[in-house]
C-alpha cells in the first residue's frame, strides 16, 4: 500500500517537473524578447529540476542513490541560476536593452534575435 | 519487429550523416576555425561508431558488481580506445588552433582564400 | 523505452551538427559544439560507456569550448560567407553519405552479441580481470594494464601536443615590438554571484576529480577523466578570478613539472618492471604477490596519466589565454 502511494506520488512529481521543463522550452521559443525568454528557461533550472529530482529520489528510496541525486540537485540549483545570471549580464553588456514596457514610444530595439 | 530491426542501424546512419556533415565543413568552408570545428565533428562521429559497436544486448557498463552472477558486459575494448582518443583529440585540436592563431598574426586573416591571395 | 530516447538524442545530434556547419557566427558555432558534445556524452552513456561519457562531458563540453573561445578572442568571431566550392562539396559528400549508409547494412545490428568485435580478445579481458587485477572496472584494467602500451603512446601524444602548442604560441606577438607588461586580467571580479558560487563549487569539482582519480579501479574513472575534471575546475577559477590569479595558484613551472613528471612516471614504471625481471609494463613483478603488484602499478601509472592530462590541458589553456591579440 505504502509502496503504491510513494510510486504514485513520485510519478506526479515527475510529470509536474516534466511539464515545467516543457513550459520552459515553449517559453524559450515563443516569448517575444531575450530577457523574457531566459526568464522562461530559468523555470527549467529551478522548478523542473527540483520536482524531477524529488520524484527520482522517491523512486530510489533510502539508498546511496538518493544521496547522490540530492547532491546533483544541489549542484544544479547552484549552477543553473548562476548561468542564467551570467547570460543576462552578458546580454546587457553587449547592448541588448530590457524592454520595460513603460513610456518608451520609439520601441525600435525590441525582440533581438 | 521489422521496424525495430531497422532502428538497430539508426546509430550507424547517424554516424554516416554526422561524419559527412563534418567532412562538408572541412572541404567547403574557407574559414580555418570552421574547418577545425568540422574536423572535430568528424572525429566525434568516429567515436560514435566505435561506441555503437561496443553495445551488447542486455549488457551493462563493464564494471563487475560483487555477488551478481552471469552478468553480460558491453565490450570494454572500444571504450578504452575512444576514452584515450578523446583526450588526444582535444590536444591535437589545440595544436591546430595554435597554428590558426599564428596564421592570423602573420596574415591578418583566417579565411583560406585570402591567405592564398596574400601569398 | 530507452531506445526511443536514444533515437531522439541522435536526431538532435544530427540537427546540431548541421546547425554548426550552417552558421557563419563562429561564437554560436562554438556554443553549439558544446551542446553537441553534451548530447554525444548522453549517447555514450546510453550505449553503456560510462567512462567515455565522463571524459566526453569534461573534455568536449568543458575544456574544448574554453580553448575554442580563447582562440576566437585571438582571431575573429565571424566567418565570411563563401559559395565557391559548395556544389562540388555537396556532390562529394552526398555520394559518400549514400555509400556509407549502404555499407551499414552489412554491419551487425546494434547490440548483436555475435558480432565479430565481441569474439576476439574482449571476452578474455572480461574473464581475466577479476583473476589478474581483482578490481571491478574492466575498462581501467584494459586501459592501464592489458593495453598499457597504447595508453603510454597516447600519453606521449598529449605530451607532444602540449609542447607543440607552447612552441607555437611561445614566441612574441608580431606587431607588438615590445611585449606589453602582463596586464592584470580582471576576470569576473565585480560579479558577486558567479564569484561566490564559483568559490563554493570549485573545491568540490577538484575533490570530485581526485575521487575519480583514486576510485577509478572501482567505478567509472581514472587518470584521463580525473585530469580533465581537475583542469576544468582550475580553468573555472581562472575565468572567475582572472588568469594571473590562477597562474599564481598553479604556476607554469608546476604545470610543466606535472606534464613531464607524469609521462616520465608512466615510462619509468615500465623500465622498473624490466629492471625487476619482467617485461616492459608487466606490473606483476612490482610486489611479491602478482595481483597486488599489478594493482600498485596501475595506481602509479593512473597517477602519471592524470598529472600529464591535467598539466597539458592547463598549459594549453594558459598559452592561449595569456597571449595578446595582435594589433
At A34, list the grid cell.
531575450
CB atoms inside a 10 Å sphere around CB C170: 11
pLDDT at C186: 56
pLDDT band at residue A112, thresholds of 50, 70 and 90? very low
Give the three-class secondary structure for B63: strand
CB atoms inside a 10 Å sphere around CB A30: 10
| Cβ-nearest to B99 among C68, C115, C168 | C168
CATH of B2-55+74-118 given 3.30.70.660, 3.30.365.10, 3.10.129.10, 1.10.287.3510: 1.10.287.3510
Which residue carries 598499457 as its cell?
C148
* Residue bearing the bigger pLDDT, A98 or C55: C55
Q: Which chain C residue has its CA at the smallest distance from B74's CA? A: C48
Query: Does residue B74 contact residue B59 with C-beta atoms inside 8 Å?
Result: yes
pLDDT at C162: 94
pLDDT at C192: 83
- Report the C-alpha gap between C113 and B50 in whole angstroms: 15
Q: Cβ separation of A85 and C194 shorter than 8 Å?
A: yes
Distances (CA, A) of C1 to A3, A49, C6, C49, C96: 23, 22, 9, 18, 32
Q: Cβ separation of B53 and C96 shorter than 8 Å?
A: no
- Domain map of chain C by residue range? 121-174+186-327
- For residue C27, give the nearest of C67, C71, C78 by alpha carbon: C78
Averaged in consecutive runs of 10 residues, what is the pLDDT profile of chain C (327 residues)?
A: 85 94 91 94 90 91 92 86 79 91 85 83 85 85 88 93 92 63 55 86 92 88 91 91 87 92 92 87 84 89 93 93 77
Contact residues, C window 198-237, toward A, CB-based 8 Å cutoff? 200-201, 204
* Residue bearing the bigger pLDDT, A100 or C5: C5
User: Within 13 A of B71's CA, how many CA atoms are on the CB side?
Assistant: 16
- Domain map of chain A by residue range? 2-93
Residues in chain A: 113
- Report the C-alpha gap between C89 and C83 in whole angstroms: 10
- Domain map of chain B by residue range? 2-55+74-118
pLDDT at A40: 87
pLDDT at A107: 46
Which residue carries 604477490 as its cell?
C289
* Residue bearing the bigger pLDDT, A108 or B82: B82
Query: Does residue C26 contact residue B34 with C-beta atoms inside 8 Å?
Result: yes
Q: C99 and chain A: CB distance < 8 Å anywhere? A: no
pLDDT band at residue B1, thresholds of 50, 70 and 90? low
Q: B71 and chain C: CB distance < 8 Å anywhere? A: no
Q: Is the pLDDT of residue B20 over 80?
A: yes
- Report the C-alpha gap between C26 and B91 in whole angstroms: 20
Chain A residues with CB-CB distance to C197 below 8 A: 78-79, 82
Query: Does residue C315 contact residue C252 with C-beta atoms inside 8 Å?
Result: yes
φ and ψ at C25, to 5 degrees? -85, 110
Cα–Cα–Cα angle for B66, B72, B77, nearest 5°?
A: 100
Q: Which chain B residue has its CA at the smallest distance from C305's CA? A: B84
Instruction: Summarize the confidence of residues A5-34 as an average pLDDT.
Output: 91
Q: Is the pLDDT of residue B51 over 80?
A: yes
Q: Is the pLDDT of residue A111 over 60?
A: no
Most distant CA pair in chain A: distance in Å?
A: 63
- The residue of C201, C215, C232, C240 whose CB has the most chain A CBs within 10 angstroms, and thus the best one to mutate to test that interface, is C201
At C12, list the grid cell.
538532435
- Report the C-alpha gap between C270 and C212 in whole angstroms: 23
**Gap from C297 CA to chain B (nearest CA, Å):** 18
pLDDT band at residue A101, thresholds of 50, 70 and 90? low
Q: Cβ separation of B16 and C97 shorter than 8 Å?
A: yes
Q: Is the pLDDT of residue A48 over 80?
A: yes
Q: Is the pLDDT of residue A105 over 80?
A: no
Amino acid at each position: 500500500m505504502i509502496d503504491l502511494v510513494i510510486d504514485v506520488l513520485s510519478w506526479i512529481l515527475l510529470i509536474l517537473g516534466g511539464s515545467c521543463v516543457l513550459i520552459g522550452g515553449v517559453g524559450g521559443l515563443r516569448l517575444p524578447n531575450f530577457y523574457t525568454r531566459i526568464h522562461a528557461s530559468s523555470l527549467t533550472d529551478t522548478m523542473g529540476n527540483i520536482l524531477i529530482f524529488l520524484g527520482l529520489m522517491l523512486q530510489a528510496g533510502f539508498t546511496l542513490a538518493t544521496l547522490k541525486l540530492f547532491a546533483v540537485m544541489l549542484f544544479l540549483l547552484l549552477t543553473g541560476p548562476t548561468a542564467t545570471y551570467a547570460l543576462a549580464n552578458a546580454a546587457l553588456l553587449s547592448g541588448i536593452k530590457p524592454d520595460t514596457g513603460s513610456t518608451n514610444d520609439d520601441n525600435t530595439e525590441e525582440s533581438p534575435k | 519487429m521489422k521496424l525495430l530491426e531497422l532502428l538497430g542501424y539508426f546509430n550507424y546512419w547517424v554516424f554516416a550523416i554526422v561524419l559527412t556533415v563534418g567532412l562538408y565543413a572541412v572541404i567547403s568552408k574557407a574559414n580555418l576555425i570552421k574547418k577545425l570545428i568540422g574536423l572535430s565533428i568528424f572525429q566525434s562521429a568516429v567515436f560514435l561508431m566505435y561506441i555503437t559497436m561496443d553495445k551488447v544486448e542486455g549488457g551493462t557498463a563493464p564494471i563487475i558488481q560483487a555477488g551478481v552472477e552471469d552478468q553480460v558486459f558491453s565490450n570494454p575494448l572500444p571504450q578504452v580506445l575512444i576514452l584515450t582518443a578523446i583526450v588526444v583529440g582535444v590536444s591535437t585540436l589545440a595544436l591546430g588552433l595554435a597554428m590558426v592563431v599564428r596564421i592570423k598574426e602573420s596574415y591578418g586573416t583566417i579565411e583560406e582564400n585570402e591567405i592564398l591571395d596574400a601569398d | 523505452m530507452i531506445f526511443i530516447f536514444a533515437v531522439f538524442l541522435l536526431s538532435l545530434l544530427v540537427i546540431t551538427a548541421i546547425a554548426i556547419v550552417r552558421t557563419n557566427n563562429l561564437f554560436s558555432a562554438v556554443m553549439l559544439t558544446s551542446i553537441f558534445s553534451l548530447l554525444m556524452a548522453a549517447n555514450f552513456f546510453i550505449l553503456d560507456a560510462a567512462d567515455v561519457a565522463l571524459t566526453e562531458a569534461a573534455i568536449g563540453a568543458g575544456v574544448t569550448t574554453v580553448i575554442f573561445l580563447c582562440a576566437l578572442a585571438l582571431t575573429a568571431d565571424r566567418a565570411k560567407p563563401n559559395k565557391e566550392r559548395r556544389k562540388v562539396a555537396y556532390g562529394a559528400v552526398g555520394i559518400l553519405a549514400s555509400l556509407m549508409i549502404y555499407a551499414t547494412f552489412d554491419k551487425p545490428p546494434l547490440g548483436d552479441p555475435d558480432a565479430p568485435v565481441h569474439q576476439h580478445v574482449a571476452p578474455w579481458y572480461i574473464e581475466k580481470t577479476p583473476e589478474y587485477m581483482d578490481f571491478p572496472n574492466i575498462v581501467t584494467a584494459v586501459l592501464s594494464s592489458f593495453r598499457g602500451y597504447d595508453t603510454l603512446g597516447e600519453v606521449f601524444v598529449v605530451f607532444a601536443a602540449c609542447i607543440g602548442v607552447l612552441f607555437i604560441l611561445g614566441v612574441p606577438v608580431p606587431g607588438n615590438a615590445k611585449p606589453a607588461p602582463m596586464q592584470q586580467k580582471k576576470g569576473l571580479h565585480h560579479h558577486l554571484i558567479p564569484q561566490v558560487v564559483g568559490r563554493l563549487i570549485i573545491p568540490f569539482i577538484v575533490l570530485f576529480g581526485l575521487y575519480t582519480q583514486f576510485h577509478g579501479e572501482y567505478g567509472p574513472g581514472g587518470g584521463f577523466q580525473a585530469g580533465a575534471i581537475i583542469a576544468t575546475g582550475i580553468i573555472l577559477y581562472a575565468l572567475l578570478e582572472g588568469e594571473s590569479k590562477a597562474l599564481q595558484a598553479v604556476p607554469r613551472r608546476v604545470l610543466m613539472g606535472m606534464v613531464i613528471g607524469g609521462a616520465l612516471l608512466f615510462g619509468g614504471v615500465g623500465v622498473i618492471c624490466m629492471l625487476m625481471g619482467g617485461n616492459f609494463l608487466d606490473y606483476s613483478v612490482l610486489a611479491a604477490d602478482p595481483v597486488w603488484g599489478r594493482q600498485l602499478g596501475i595506481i602509479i601509472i593512473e597517477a602519471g596519466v592524470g598529472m600529464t592530462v591535467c598539466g597539458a590541458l592547463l598549459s594549453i589553456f594558459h598559452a592561449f589565454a595569456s597571449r595578446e591579440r595582435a594589433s
